[in-house]
Every structure is written in C-alpha cells, then in structure tokens.
C-alpha cells in the first residue's frame, strides 16, 4: 500500500467488555452478562452457531445496538453511551449498505473526504486499497452495477481505508467464491500485520478462524465457551461444545463409564485408564485414531469418503459412529473389520453432565 498518512491513522485500542448484556425483550436474553478483554492490536475471531449473538455483540461494540447492562471500554474510555461515530470503530456489516448514488471510488473515499484529506492523497490511498481488493477496474461504477462479492469488497475497502484503531467485521467474506475468499484472507492477515488495528471478526468459517485469529472467542447462546489461541482451542477444548465445533470432521465423542481404574465403551471394550468412576464423554480427533491390522479396539467400516489427499472412514464402534481421517483406507471394503488404536496422549475427557473438560485426565499433555 502507498505510504500511510499517520496523522489520520488511529492507534489500536484495547476493548474491554464488562458485564455486557443484551435482552431484546424481558423474556429473551440474547447475551447474559459477559466479560472479555481484547488486547490492543489483537485479532479476535468470534465463532459460534447461527443465532448465538455474534452480530449483536459486534453491534454493541460499534454502538449500533444499545447494551442492556454493563460497560464497554475502548482504549480505557467508556463508550457504551457514545454515538457510533465517536467510538473510533470501522465496521463491515453482514448486510453492508453502500451509498447507491456514489461511485466505488467515492464510496471508499468518503470518510477520507469528510476527514479533510487532500485530494491527491485521497486518490493515492483509495488506489492502493482498490488494488489490494482487486477493485481498480471498477472504481467508476455504481454499487448497482457490481456483483455481491464486489460490493462486499467495496464495503471492506471503505472500512479499512482510514486505517481505524478498531475494525469490526461481520462475516465480510461470506459472498466470495473459494479462491477470492482465500486471497482476501491472506490480504486481511497482511493488512492486520501492517496496520495492527484491534480487530473483531465474526465468521462461520473455521479455516478463517484458525488462520486469522490471535485468539478465538467461541460463543454459545450468548455465553463464552472458550476464549483462547487457535492452538489451545484445537488441542485443549474447554468443553464438548468447543470440541465438536472446531475441526472437520469434528472430534469424535463417545460415552464411556469409569470404574475407578478403566474407562469402558458401551459394549465393555476398555479404552483408557482413568482414576475416577462415573459417566464421561471421551473425545478423540479423527486424525488421532489409527486403523491397522492389530489394535485393541474392534470396529466395522460403515462408509468411506475418499478426498484425494486422505480418506475419512466412518466406523461403528460400540454402537457409536467414529470418524477416522487417514491417508490410507481407499482400498478398504465396506463392512471390513478394523482394529483401532488411540494414543492416550491424544484423548480428551469431559464430564458427562456439564460437558466441561477434565484437565489432565490422562496425565499432562
Ligand atoms: N432486533 C431484534 N429483536 C429481537 N431479537 C433479535 C433482534 N436481533 C437479533 N435478535 C435475536 O438475537 C439472537 C442473536 O442474534 P444475532 O444476529 O446476534 O446472531 P448471530 O450469532 O449473528 O447469528 P448468524 O450467525 O445467523 O448471523 C437471535 O436469536 C436473534 O433472533
Ligand atoms: Mg450474524
């Protein structure tokens, strides 16, 4: 990008959510009081199922929805009662609206013009953003003459052109095809490295979450299930919900019973050693199961998906379906008997009642 005018560029600011809650009416609490600290310059991805409150949370930070309770601090300043334009955030909406009567150039340049940036500088800055977003050929068009994906890129350009201290994105890449999505993801990561705005990015896409985030905030019915680095979320999920939400195919979760020494599957096969007795859920990722000629667990192949680089096998194990990701297996016959093995260091254990992870259930790892 062209040289950055530091006079207009805002410093990244930490965002603190202190007991922030939202109820649209007395009967439906969308977000119960929620606490989170987003560090200055951090890239947070908010992930969760449809309707869990992601857009609501983002709009409360931006000031487009009022909070029902609690405080929002941006750069240490309470902003929950401030107008959106006084909060220093730029936002790309899920349903972004461009100025229909303005050209793409003017849409992107608008905030620079309002801020009084000289024309030459404006042209340079918009040109650099347009090149980055692949919009250089389209600067003279009106929004109605653009495809959905092109409009989405203009909306991103409009938000990033001022290089704000806080950038809020609500599924900004959802209308793009796979190739463009991939390219934009790399551009956004690069943009973040260069301008370092505190970024909150809502997505349904796990790959976006894993690759863009410094930390991922996983939301379930308005509550934080886990807020941690992608690695920690993947390798040490705090709950069954997180374990099943991240990973494709998701983690296998099997009911097991402990007798104080051994954990057993529903059909009595022993799977691991654990000192507590009771009902548990045992988690194992598809890539952490090995299927071989010899192994302690007996299973039967139900179906197989060949994906080129690897296969995903679905097997019956003790009345549950278990998925296995393996580079081998393309030659296996359906109904074949398989012997499975789990490495104890790759197992996860959850409380069957609460779904919460039991730390160090199989020793520290
Ligand atoms: N204006 C409103 N009035 C009443 N309920 C609302 C309003 N806006 C959103 N909701 C409800 O609040 C909940 C959270 O909505 P929100 O848009 O934040 O979800 P989301 O996580 O962004 O979902 P999606 O992934 O589908 O975009 C939903 O149950 C929704 O129906
Ligand atoms: Mg939403």
Which of 282, 288, 286, 284 is closest to 256 using CA atoms?
282
Least distant ligand from the CA of 93: 2
User: pLDDT tens digit string along 263-274?
Assistant: 999 999 999 999
What residues line ligand 1, using a CB cutoff of 6 Å? 24, 30, 48, 50-56, 94
> pTM of the predicted model, to two decimals?
0.89
The C-alpha atoms of residue 215 and residue 212 are separated, in whole angstroms, by 9
Pocket test for ligand 1, best of 50, 56, 169 (most atoms within 8 A of CB): 56
Residue matched to tokens 């509550």: 223
Span 15-235 CATH architecture: 3-Layer(aba) Sandwich (3.40)
Checking if the pLDDT of 10 tops 80, the result is: no
Beta-carbon contacts of 103 under 8 Å, excluding residues fewer than 6 positions away, are 139, 140, 141, 142
Beta-carbon contacts of 25 under 8 Å, excluding residues fewer than 6 positions away, are none
Q: Give the Å distance between the CA of 50 and the centre of ligand 2.
A: 7
Q: Give the Å distance between the CA of 220 and the centre of ligand 1.
A: 12
Q: Which atom of ligand 1 is nearest the CA belonging to 58?
A: 18
Ranges of H-type helices in the chain: 54-62, 104-114, 119-132, 148-160, 178-195, 206-212, 230-235, 240-245
Q: Give the Å distance between the CA of 226 and the centre of ligand 1.
A: 20
What CA–CA distances, in Å, run from 121 to 104, 131, 355? 17, 15, 55
Q: How confident is the model at residue 320 (pLDDT cuts 50, 70, 90)?
A: very high
What CA–CA distances, in Å, run from 35 to 183, 218, 244? 34, 13, 24
Beta-carbon contacts of 136 under 8 Å, excluding residues fewer than 6 positions away, are 127, 130
Beta-carbon contacts of 13 under 8 Å, excluding residues fewer than 6 positions away, are 40, 74, 75, 76, 88, 165, 166, 198
Pocket test for ligand 1, best of 28, 53, 92, 204 (most atoms within 8 A of CB): 53
Output the residue whose Cα is nearest ligand 1's atom 26: 50
Give helix then strand counts, H and E, for the chain: 8, 20
Which of 334, 331, 235, 245 is closest to 288 using CA atoms?
235
280: left (phi over 0), alpha (psi -120 to 50) or beta: beta
Q: What is the mean pLDDT of the chain?
A: 90
Output the residue whose Cα is nearest ligand 1's atom 1: 24
Output the residue whose Cα is nearest ligand 1's atom 22: 55
Q: Give the Å distance between the CA of 30 and the centre of ligand 1.
A: 8
Output the residue whose Cα is nearest ligand 1's atom 3: 24
Checking if the pLDDT of 257 tops 90, the result is: yes
Which of 239, 250, 229 is closest to 325 using CA atoms?
250
Q: 283-317 burial, b if ≥16 CB within 10 A, otherwise e?
A: bbbbbbbebeeeeebebebeebeeeeebbbbbbeb
Least distant ligand from the CA of 59: 1
Q: Give the Å distance between the CA of 94 and the centre of ligand 1.
A: 12
Q: Report, in angstroms and rounded to the nearest whole number, the Rg of the chain calculated over CA atoms.
A: 24
Output the residue whose Cα is nearest ligand 1's atom 16: 53
User: pLDDT tens digit string along 80-126?
Assistant: 999 998 898 999 886 778 999 999 999 999 989 998 999 999 999 99
Half-sphere exposure of 55 (CA within 13 A, CB side): 12
Q: Give residue 364's pLDDT.
A: 63
What is the spatial order of strands in the sheet that 320-326 belongs to? Answer: 289-292, 337-342, 297-306, 311-317, 320-326
Same fold for the domain at 15-235 and the one at 249-351?
Answer: no
User: pLDDT tens digit string along 143-195?
Assistant: 999 987 788 889 989 998 988 889 999 998 887 788 888 888 888 888 888 77
The C-alpha atoms of residue 327 and residue 43 are separated, in whole angstroms, by 33
Q: Does the domain spanning 249-351 belong to CATH 3.40.640.10?
A: no
Helix (H, G, I), strand (E, B) or coil at 121: helix
Q: How confident is the model at residue 49 (pLDDT cuts 50, 70, 90)?
A: very high
Half-sphere exposure of 346 (CA within 13 A, CB side): 13
Q: Give the Å distance between the CA of 245 and the centre of ligand 1.
A: 19
322 touches 315 (CB < 8 A): yes
User: pLDDT tens digit string along 12-26?
Assistant: 899 999 999 999 988
Beta-carbon contacts of 93 under 8 Å, excluding residues fewer than 6 positions away, are 155, 170
Half-sphere exposure of 122 (CA within 13 A, CB side): 16
Q: Give residue 1's pLDDT.
A: 41
Q: Give the Å distance between the CA of 130 and the centre of ligand 2.
A: 26
Structural domain boundaries in the chain: 15-235, 249-351
Q: Give residue 94's pLDDT.
A: 67
Q: What are phi and psi of 84, to 5 degrees?
A: -50, -45
Q: Which atom of ligand 1 is nearest the CA belonging to 28?
A: 5
Q: What are phi and psi of 126, to 5 degrees?
A: -65, -40
Pocket test for ligand 1, best of 50, 51, 170 (most atoms within 8 A of CB): 51
The C-alpha atoms of residue 18 and residue 21 are separated, in whole angstroms, by 9
Output the residue whose Cα is nearest ligand 1's atom 31: 51
What does 88-103 look like in DSSP terms, one character per residue?
Answer: TEEEE-TT----TTS-
């Amino acid at each position: 990008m062209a040289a950055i005018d530091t006079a207009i560029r805002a410093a990244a600011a930490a965002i603190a959510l202190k007991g922030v809650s939202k109820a649209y009416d007395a009967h439906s609490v969308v977000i119960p009081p929620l606490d989170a600290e987003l560090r200055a310059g951090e890239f947070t991805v908010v992930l969760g199922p449809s309707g869990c409150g992601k857009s609501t949370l983002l709009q409360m930070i931006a000031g487009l929805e009022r909070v029902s309770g609690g405080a929002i601090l941006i750069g240490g300043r309470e902003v929950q009662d401030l107008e959106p334009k006084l909060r220093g955030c730029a936002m790309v909406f899920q349903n972004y609206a461009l100025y229909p009567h303005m050209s793409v150039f003017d849409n992107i340049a608008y905030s620079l013009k309002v801020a009084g940036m000289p024309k030459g500088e404006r042209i340079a800055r918009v040109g650099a953003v347009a090149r980055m977003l692949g919009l250089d050929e389209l600067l003279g068009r009106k929004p109605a003459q653009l495809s959905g994906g092109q409009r989405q890129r203009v909306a991103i350009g409009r938000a990033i052109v001022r290089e704000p201290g806080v950038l809020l994105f609500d599924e900004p890449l959802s209308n793009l095809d796979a190739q463009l999505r991939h390219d934009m993801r790399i551009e956004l990561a690069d943009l973040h490295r260069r301008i370092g705005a505190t970024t909150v990015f809502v997505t349904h896409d796990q790959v976006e979450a894993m690759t863009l985030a410094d930390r991922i905030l996983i939301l379930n019915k308005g509550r934080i299930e886990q807020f941690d680095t992608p690695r920690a979320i993947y390798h040490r999920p705090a709950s069954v919900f997180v374990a099943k939400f991240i990973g494709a195919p998701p983690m296998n979760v099997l009911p097991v019973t402990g007798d104080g020494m051994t954990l057993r599957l529903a059909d009595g096969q022993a799977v691991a050693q654990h000192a507590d007795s009771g009902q548990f859920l045992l988690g194992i990722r598809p890539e952490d199961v090995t299927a071989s000629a010899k192994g302690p667990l007996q299973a039967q192949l139900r179906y197989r998906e060949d994906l080129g680089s690897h296969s995903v096998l679905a097997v019956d194990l003790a009345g549950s379906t278990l998925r296995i990701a393996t580079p081998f297996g393309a030659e296996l016959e359906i109904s074949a008997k398989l012997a499975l093995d789990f490495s104890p260091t790759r197992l996860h254990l959850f409380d069957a009642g609460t779904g919460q992870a039991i730390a160090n259930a199989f020793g520290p790892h």
